[in-house]
Structures are given as structure tokens and as C-alpha cells.
Amino acid sequence: MIIDELHIESLAYGGAGLGRHEGRVVFVPFTAPGDRVRCRIIREKKRYAEGVAEQILVPSAERRQACCPVFGQCGGCQWQHLSYSGQGSWKETIFSSLLNKQAGIDPAVMRPLACAPDEWTYRSRAQVKIRQAQNRLVMGFYRPGSHYVANTESCPILHPLLNRTWSLFRQRLIECPDAAKIPQLDLETDDTGQVRAVLHYIGNQSEPIKEFFGTMSAVANLSLFLQSGRKDTLTKLFGRENLTIEVDDPPLKLQYGAGGFAQVNLEQNRALVREVASLFPSGSRWRVLDLFCGMGNFSLPVARRAEKVIGVENFAPAIDQARRNAEANGLTNVEFHARPAEGAATALWPENGFDMVMLDPPRSGAYEVIRELARLKPARILYISCDPPTLARDLVPLLHSGYQLGWSRPYDLFPQTHHTESVTLLSRQDF
């Protein structure tokens, strides 16, 4: 079905433009509010349809020329065709609207979006997909909604050091033995200029691979790991074990190993930490539980301001690293536990009676943890989220259990994409 002219009215969560045809919503990716497009419908549902723009009849004033040659083919970015100010405005609107509709949150408590200082070259981590076919090497990211790789030489949102390392591996992988068994290259960099690469290898002849890439050890500030399955199969080939990031003021130096986690936008992560740290009044005697704590990104800055902090993380190597980070930074009022977040608050509550619980869960959210906290009723809950829909879902049981949302702020950690990080503070209404 072809719609000869569709007016794009707004942007929807997920990044697509939204128009209406004969009373039904139509979602069209890579369009801008104000566009008039010729649209081909590719999928029809009862209440909406999905289409592709075959032609931009009248371009929106919000449009700009995307700088990436594979924009629209690669699934990494959705909004390179929008001005950065336009992206920020729509992220604020979508975030506020979603929390209002799904959780009944008053838009008046929404704080302004914290924009990124640089809309390009901000990503400190990436997973580059690799395919070998008919003596041709394909490297890039998956196309939208598929496992086909959009081939590209570099990425404009990656840190320059990662693009340089990507180019180096592209040259070497062409000659690599058993290269068809290398489906992915993970790249990371830190605040010191160190680069870590992890080659995923699904073959059974790892020694030739190790020997082949061993010649790259002379490259400055590069460490290389091989991974043949889950994270516990990671093997260092050469280079440093850890990467280092800095947070807080004066700076805390936090290290994390291969398989560990750090935010992709290091500058915006520092802004997040500043926001969290600002919540603690001078001379605070609060006892804090930090769930999904990783290597101590929030736990350790908060430990400078609280009486005691307990961090919980299910990935044991991250907990080991958090303990080393605490020791290296001279923080003695913090302890860490390697265990699932579910049940941790209940188990630790009798001896601690936390004044605040912080949580920074994965994209799937933390619904079972939230139900647990609704029973325990800590005075304050600070929720750091990377997924607005699961945040809205998780807020509902708290709002029905005597909590009031003080404020929520979206953070743009991912320019050129629809993704939004956020910080939300809730307090017991009787507190």
C-alpha cells in the first residue's frame, strides 16, 4: 500500500516519525516532524501501521544532512538527520509524555534534559560485527531489525581512538587465519587513552589466532583479549588488564576489567555522578544501598558523603574490582557483595536500615526489586534508568505504596539515537 502524501507530526519513542492516515497512526523511521513524505506501508496492525519513506516531498525545517554514509542502513543511529537541538527537545518531550501516560507522572516535576557536550565522537565502547564472505571482509553494525551487517570504515559517534583501532583490525583481519570464525570485535577506551579490544572467536584453533595478533603488541596503548564463549572465557593476549575512568571532584580513579561495565559516554557519566552526589547534604549520616553497583561508579563517590555504602552486583569480577577501587581510593566505609539484586535489600536491611536505596539496572529494569523496596519502604529511592518504558513500569508500584516522585531528569548519553538515560528521585510521603 502506498500513501501518496503523509504529514509527519511528531517523533515516537523508538525514533520513528509519526503521521496519521485515515484515522490510523503510521510510524515511519528516519523522518522528521514537518516532513511530507510518500510512504509505502510494510506492516499493518489493528491500531497502527509501519512504513518506509519512498520520497521526501517537502522536507522539514528540522532536517539536516546526515554525515554518516551508512545512516539509514545501520541500526546504530536513528536521528542523524535532525539538528542536535531538535533531538534534545524531542527527547525531553518523549520522556515526559511516556512517564505521564504510563505512570501518571506530572510533567511539572520533570527537569530539563542534560545535553551532551559533544554530539559526535562520544562513544567509548562499541561492538563491531564482522563477516567474511567470498574473500570480502564486512565490518560494521547490524542493519535495523536484522543480523545483516552494514559495512562501513568508521563511525562518527565513536571516539577517534576506537576508529583508529577499528581501521587497524580491518587491515589485519583480511589476512587472519580462521577469520570466518571471528564474528565480533569489542572496542573500549578510557580516560587515559588506553584502548582494549576483545576478539570473539568461535573456532577451535585459538593458538594461530593468538600468534597472528601477537604482532600487534607493539601498538601503543592497546590491550587485546580473546573470548570464546561467555565472559568467563576471556583470555588476555597482551596489554594492560584494566581500563581507568575518572569521576567526582577531586577525581576518583576507577578501574574495570574486560567484561566489566562503564557508561559509553564518559563525560555524561561524570555529569550523572555529580547529580547523584549533590543529593547528599554536608555531614550526611545516611546509610546507602547501591544495587547493580558494578565496579563502584556511584557507590564510591557516594561513600565520600555518606556514613556507609553497601554495593551489590551479580557479576563477581566487578565486585572484586569495586573492592580494589575502594582500597585504591582510601575509602573504608563501603562494602560490596557479589549476589543478585533480588533479595539483597531484604537480606541486608535488618543490620542497616538504609536511608537511601540507589539502583542502576539493565534495560530490562528491576520490577521484582521494586516490589521488594515497596515492602521495605526506605526513606528515599534513587532510580538511574537507561530505558524509559521499564522505568515507568517500575515506578507504578512505588507510587501506589506511599512514594512521591520528587523529580526526574533525562540525560542524553546517546546523541544521534533515540535512547535516553535518566535519574529519578522518590521519597516516602510520610518522610
Report, as residue numbers or ranges, the catalytic residues. 386
Separation CA 113–CA 414 (nearest Å): 12
Separation CA 100–CA 427 (nearest Å): 18
3-state secondary structure of 266: helix
Task: Provide the angle, in degrees to the nearest 10, between the axes of the packed helices 367-376 and 344-352.
Answer: 30
CA dihedral 22, 23, 28, 32 (to 10 degrees): 100
Q: Are strands 334-338 and 252-257 parallel, antiparallel or unpaired?
A: unpaired
E strand or H helix that includes residue 98: helix 84-103
Check if the beta carbon of residue 25 is closer than 8 Å to that of residue 43. Answer: no
Extract the C-alpha cell encoding 423: 535519574
Extract the C-alpha cell encoding 253: 580513579
B/e letters for 230-256, b = 16+ CB within 10 Å, e = fewer, are eeeebeebebbebbebbbbeeebbbbb
Distances (CA, A) of 309 to 274, 320, 332, 373: 17, 16, 10, 17
Separation CA 72–CA 81 (nearest Å): 10
Check if the beta carbon of residue 89 is closer than 8 Å to that of residue 156. Answer: no
Separation CA 78–CA 156 (nearest Å): 13
* Long-range CB contact pairs, 37-42, < 8 A, 24+: 37/5, 37/6, 37/8, 38/2, 38/3, 38/4, 38/5, 38/6, 39/2, 39/3, 39/6, 40/1, 40/2, 40/3, 41/1, 41/2, 41/3
Among 153, 238, 240, residue whose Cα is nearest residue 199: 238
Separation CA 405–CA 211 (nearest Å): 56
